[in-house]
Amino acid sequence: MTTTAPAPATARTRRPKRRRLLVALGVIAALLAGWAAWTNLRPFTLRASIEIDATPQQVWAVLSDLPAYPQWNPFIVSSSGRLEKGATLRNVMRDSGGDTTFTPTVLEAAPGRELRWIGRIGPGGIFDGEHRFLIEPVSPGRVRLTQSERFTGVVIPFFRHQLNERTLPQFRALNTALAQRVGATRP
């Protein structure tokens, strides 16, 4: 009885395996790209508003006094940096999960109107948050302060519940504390 050794793998037998691997990797890459695009095109937004008996300048004076945050702010318990477009802030945020330090980039700092920054966890597109404080006059001596954050990134769908449960209450607490601080600092 004669036995033959299996033929060595040739380039022809390796090509289909390599081709299948490349197709599989291409499908995975396409799925990941689709997921990333979908999560960035469908942001998740938190929003909380409060009306305050104050002028836009009075609200801005409290909001822009970063060194005073530890005295009154229950959410952003520490903040430093310059409030000018392109500057980097160092914010320590507190929620029921503990303290987290972010280094967002200021996108807008319009006195009496708007403060907006963007913070990222990772290289961008993973977990991005564009935080905004909008001050709008409602009537003479009364404004509406709206704090919002627009979240985008591939992991955001997995954190929606946590953001609603931990972060949104802190938005409301900050708004209330700011209103009280404006009232306490009025001349």
Question: What stretches in the chain show pLDDT beneath 50?
Answer: 187
Specify the pLDDT at position 151.
92
Q: Indicate the residue type of 168.
A: L
Q: Is 122 left (phi over 0), alpha (psi -120 to 50) or beta?
A: left
Choose which CATH entry (3.30.530.20, 3.40.50.1220, 3.30.2390.10, 3.40.50.261) describes domain 43-185: 3.30.530.20
CA distances from 82 to 60, 92, 178 (A): 14, 15, 20
**Residues contacting 113, CB < 8 A, separation 6+:** 56, 60, 134, 135
Surface-to-core class of residue 72, CB atoms within 10 Å of its CB (0-12 exposed, 13-18 middle, 19+ buried): middle
pLDDT at residue number 187: 47
- 135, β-bridge pairs: 145
Residue 115: per-residue pLDDT: 98
Q: What is the pLDDT of residue 39?
A: 58
Whether this prediction's pTM lies above 0.95 is answered by no
The number of beta carbons lying within 10 Å of the beta carbon of residue 14 is 10
